[in-house]
A and B are shown apart, each in its own frame.
Chain A
């Protein structure tokens, strides 16, 4: 096992080589907020970290539980840790030079404006459908300068190709099949949750890189 941590310029130069200068710079200078660090948010934040997004704003109030491990990007060693702390640990093992802003709070109608005031790209990655709708409606109504990439419907082991990205407007994209909710007998499983997370992460990369179609 090699414990040597590469320098920032070493990491940057391999990303630059893979992505081209233009893409590398755009990603490095970008900032993305991820609301919820469960099955969607934990996967999305690691994907964006690997891609080289410069600043990640990570929001979750919850701790890692054993029942999360079936689909969320945490390990047994993270049990009982706050998800913001656990994901920080993982991101720093991928790229220690990413700026991380962690907020260990529950998002509510009252704190949305303050919480997301510096974010222009917001990823909705909650579990609860009322929270999802609350965040999406609030951002679309009150934050005309921001866009939101949300998710709905990814439970079970239904066909992979039912998970899609739909563009609702210039500021609103939705990923998932829009119907498979998590219910008893059709729980959340890693593959479809990760598929949906990847749809969201790729949509966010495209927004940063100014590609607006789906």
Chain B
């Protein structure tokens, strides 16, 4: 249920919506639901006041609506054959590097292997 609310709110992020259509009984909603709602309201407000998008790469926050992974890798001299990439806690197969576009809320860990052992 919570993930449904979250998806619905994310979809409606860029326009005013009536919260009661998504969470009919807000007063009795669980703490978890309210926290997700608070996050969505924060993002909604941020959007209206100029936009804050957060993409986390190795713990550093980037205020961008999207980042093409392959562009980030080449800008930072990270060779495809010498890295491991985890996207939101899951390993990203190498054949997906080219088409992966990071968006708001994504958390990425890039491990760069250098020689020596």
Contact = CB atoms under 8 A, between A and B. Distances in A.
Nearest to A186: B116
Contact of B112 (A40, A41, A141, A152): A152
Interface residues of B, number: 18
Most buried by B among A130, A133, A188: A133
A127 B115 contact: yes
Contacts of A85: none
Contacts of A141: 91, 93
Interface string B87-117: 0011101100000000000000101111111
B117 A151 contact: yes
Contacts of A137: 84, 91, 93-94
Contacts, number: 86
Would you call the interface of chain A mostly helix, strand, loop, or mixed? Answer: mixed
B78 to A, nearest CB: 11
Given A137-B84, A137-B94, A129 B113 contact: yes
B15 interface: no
A39 interface: yes
B103 to A, nearest CB: 20
Contacts of A125: 117
Top 6 nearest A-B pairs (CB, nearest first) are A181-B114, A182-B116, A140-B91, A129-B113, A132-B113, A127-B117
